[in-house]
Amino acid sequence: MPKALVFLADGFEDIEGVAVIDVLRRAGINVKTVGLVGNIVTSARGVRVYADERLIDFDKASEFDAIVLPGGAVGTENLGKHEKVLRVIDDFAKSGKLICAICAAPSILAKRGLLKEKRATIFPGMEKLLDKPRDEAVVVDGNIITSQGPGTAIAFGLKIVEMLMGPGISSRLKQDLVA
């Protein structure tokens, strides 16, 4: 069973975090949520979520097949400041593992040079940060999946499922979700 790692930073966009986790778990993907500061993470809308593990205790990123970075302005800023998160992103890039970022979070990948000459999407208005911006809900280029924002979260989750488990499972799940 594929394993996905979802980093949750205070200020993460609720829908982008929770909906993607839900879609991945419905598909049978083993999802581990990691809170940057502690187990309790507060979303952009003030919803408190209990993360499976604290980043300070987490050291098994190499066991995962995909990393997911939810967006949200404050959440993205918090993710982008954390050296351990940035090291995990870099390690995934070096090993060719799946890196998934939504909303403002693709900006972290752009700053790390991971979107150089790659097609990607980002929250509308932030396109200048990308080399090859696309006005699409979800964009895949190699091992990187990017998506625009809260309204594209289910499509983003389904694309992650497709990349990890194949189009058949993703298609069946899309029907089940009425997406």
- The residues annotated as belonging to the active site are 103
**Tokens 């990890």 belong to which residue?**
164
Instruction: Report helix angle 73-80 to 83-95, nearest 10.
Output: 80
Contacts of 1 (CB under 8 A, 6+ apart): 28, 29, 30
Q: Whose CA is closest to 162, among 13, 34, 23, 69? A: 23
Tokens encoding 168: 């058949």
Q: Whose CA is closest to 42, among 74, 10, 80, 76? A: 10
Instruction: Determine the Cα–Cα distance for residues 8 and 162; give it in Å rounded to an integer.
Output: 22
